[in-house]
C-alpha cells in the first residue's frame, strides 16, 4: 500500500507573492545546502505545455546526497548516488516526481496546489474517493511546529522575524486564524517503496524527510521576505540562473565532472522553475 499524506502549509503571503518567493527560496536554499560533491545539480530547465494546465516550466535535477542518508540506506547504495527530480510547474499547480535508477522500486509523487486561504479546502487536489480513504492530513505551522536544531537560525525563526518592507511578523500563536494576507500550499505526497521487509521503514523515512524540508523551506521563504519582495518575475529568474550555476559548480567540484547532459556552470539555464 502506497503511503499517502497531504501536507497543508500556510504562509502570511498571497499566492501571487509566493510565486516569486518560492523561486527565490529554492534557488538560495539549494546553494546553501550544497557542498563539494553533494547537493542539487540542475540538469534541464525549459518551458513545457499541458492540455489541461497550459504553459509551464519543466526542470530536472539530480540530488546528490549519499552521505546524508541513514546508515541502513547507505549500506545498500553506491558511493556516487543521486535521486532524480522531475518537476512540471504550471503555477499555481505543480507536479513533482522523485525516482532513483539504483532503486527502481522507489517512487515519490507530489501534487501541489496553492490557494489564498488558511488550509480549509477539503479536497483541493481533487483526489478520488479511494485516495481520500487512504489520505492523512498534516497541518504544518511554520512558526510553532517542532523544528530540527541543526537547521535552526534565530534570524529565520518566524516567531522573531519582522518584515521591514511589509510589516508582517513576528508570527504569534493562532496566526493562521488571524493574519492577512494568508495562503496555503496543499501538497499530496504518494511515497512508494515496494521491497518486502523495508517498505514501511523507507516510506516513513521519506515522509519524515519531506515534512522536515517543507518546514525548513517555508520558514526560509518567509524569513527572506525582505530580500525577494518587490522582485519581478524577470528579476527572480535572473537570480535563479545565477544561483543554479553556482550550485552546479559547487556540486561538480568533487572532481567527477557533471552528470551526463547536466547544464554547466556557464549560467545557460533556460528560465526555470521549480521543485516543491
pLDDT of residue 83: 86
Positions of the chain with pLDDT under 50: 74, 255-275
Contact between 87 and 99 (Cβ < 8 Å): no
The whole-number pLDDT of residue 258 equals 46
- Say if residues 226 and 163 touch (Cβ distance below 8 Å): yes
Does pTM surpass 0.75? yes
Alpha helices in 7-116 (DSSP H): 15-32, 71-74
Where do we find the cell 499541458?
A: 50
pLDDT for position 274: 45
> pLDDT for 117-175, tens place per residue?
999 999 999 999 999 999 999 999 999 999 989 899 999 999 999 999 999 999 999 99
Half-sphere exposure of 127 (CA within 13 A, CB side): 25
d(CA 123, CA 15): 18
Q: What pLDDT shows up at residue 264?
A: 36
Amino acid at each position: 500500500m502506497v503511503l499517502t499524506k497531504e501536507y497543508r502549509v500556510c504562509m502570511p503571503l498571497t499566492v501571487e507573492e509566493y510565486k516569486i518567493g518560492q523561486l527565490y527560496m529554492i534557488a538560495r536554499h539549494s546553494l546553501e545546502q550544497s557542498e563539494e560533491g553533494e547537493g542539487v545539480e540542475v540538469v534541464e530547465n525549459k518551458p513545457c505545455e499541458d492540455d489541461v494546465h497550459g504553459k509551464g516550466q519543466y526542470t530536472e535535477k539530480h540530488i546528490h546526497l549519499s552521505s546524508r542518508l541513514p546508515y541502513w540506506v547507505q549500506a545498500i547504495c553506491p558511493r556516487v548516488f543521486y535521486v532524480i527530480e522531475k518537476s512540471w510547474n504550471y503555477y499555481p499547480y505543480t507536479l513533482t516526481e522523485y525516482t532513483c535508477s539504483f532503486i527502481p522500486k522507489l517512487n515519490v509523487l507530489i501534487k501541489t496546489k496553492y490557494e489564498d486561504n488558511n488550509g480549509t479546502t477539503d479536497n483541493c487536489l481533487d483526489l478520488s474517493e479511494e485516495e481520500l480513504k487512504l489520505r492523512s492530513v498534516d497541518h504544518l505551522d511554520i512558526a510553532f511546529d517542532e523544528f530540527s536544531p541543526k537547521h535552526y537560525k534565530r534570524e529565520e525563526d518566524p516567531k522573531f522575524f519582522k518584515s521591514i518592507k511589509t510589516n508582517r511578523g513576528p508570527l504569534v500563536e493562532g496566526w493562521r486564524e488571524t493574519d492577512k494576507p494568508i495562503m496555503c500550499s496543499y501538497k499530496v505526497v504518494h511515497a512508494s517503496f515496494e521491497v518486502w521487509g523495508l517498505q514501511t521503514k523507507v516510506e516513513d523515512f521519506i515522509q519524515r524527510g519531506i515534512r522536515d524540508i517543507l518546514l525548513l523551506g517555508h520558514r526560509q521563504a518567509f524569513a527572506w521576505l525582505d530580500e525577494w519582495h518587490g522582485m519581478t518575475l524577470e528579476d527572480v529568474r535572473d537570480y535563479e540562473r545565477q544561483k543554479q550555476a553556482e550550485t552546479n559548480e559547487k556540486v561538480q567540484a568533487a572532481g567527477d565532472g557533471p552528470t551526463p547532459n547536466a547544464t554547466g556552470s556557464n549560467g545557460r539555464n533556460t528560465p526555470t522553475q521549480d521543485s516543491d
